[in-house]
Amino acid sequence: MLATYRADLHVHTCLSPCGDLDMSPRGVVEAALAAGLDLIAVTDHNSAENVAATVRAAAGRGGPTVLCGLEVATSEEVHLLTLFSDPKPALAMQDLVYANFPAKTNRPEIFGDQVVANEFDEVEGFNDRLLIGAGYLDLSAAVRACHSLGGLAVAAHVDRPSFSLLGQLGFVPPDLALDAFEVSPRGDEAELARRFPDLAGRPLIRGSDAHFLEDIGSAWTEFRLNHPDLDEIRLALRARDGRRVLEKS
């Protein structure tokens, strides 16, 4: 039976640089529950090492549904959300990103610790890669890889002047098979459509891009779905079989 589900598909954990160490797997799940979210996507910068722990933390609380992903920084310095149904393809995407990543070391005194944690919020290690940087994987290759692994590819915060598809390229490449375009929490969709006619008729969503617990659910999208999972969202983005995007807030 179709119902309305509230989703924030752009949430980070304590693995992402320049964020909050309270963004632990369990902390993220508890904040999502408090925000009334039915579904979240964990999308740390260039890494998926905390996705499995967040899935387990949510299962222990009875929800929300957790999609597994990465926010890939491509060679063009475009941020791309790659979303998957479970940890295995997300970690395969991570392997590809790591294989095409510069050998630079994180500087915790500047960017903060990049913590790998378990579902009990116990620290299991630290990622020493400079995850805040861009890799060598280009945008087209990243989208193709995401799709080959069964994922959805979403252009992140397209209204921002930096680290976005439109900010970096100034247009939507006609052969780029993106599944959706994300508008940031304070983005103006009408102004965006006026400036970029390429977006006409394309699915738009909103996500919080949360690096702090209080920001989780500060922006969200309502979907009409049969149940909250990746395949249902795929149908909604294509407006198929009664599934659809209802609201961006």
Residue 111's pLDDT is 94
CA atoms of 91 and 60, how far apart (whole Å): 22
* 27 three-class SS: helix
- Domains of the chain plus CATH, in order, are 3-248 (3.20.20.140)
- Cα distance between residue 40 and residue 199, in whole Å: 24
**Coil, helix or strand for 182?**
strand
For residue 231, what pLDDT is reported?
A: 98
- Could you identify the residue written with the tokens 């252009």? 155
Determine the pLDDT at residue 247.
63
Q: Nearest 5°: phi and psi at 197?
A: -60, -20
Return the pLDDT at 61: 85
CA atoms 92, 93, 94, 96: torsion sign:
positive
Q: What is the pLDDT of residue 62?
A: 83
What is the pTM (predicted TM-score) of this model?
0.96
Q: Which H/E stretch holds residue 230?
A: helix 230-237
Q: What is the pLDDT along the chain (249 residues), one digit of tens a residue?
A: 899 999 999 999 999 998 888 999 999 999 999 999 999 999 999 999 999 999 999 998 888 999 999 999 999 999 999 999 999 999 999 999 999 999 999 999 999 999 999 999 999 999 999 999 999 999 999 999 999 999 999 999 999 999 999 999 999 999 999 999 999 998 988 899 899 998 988 999 999 999 999 999 999 999 999 999 999 999 999 999 999 999 655
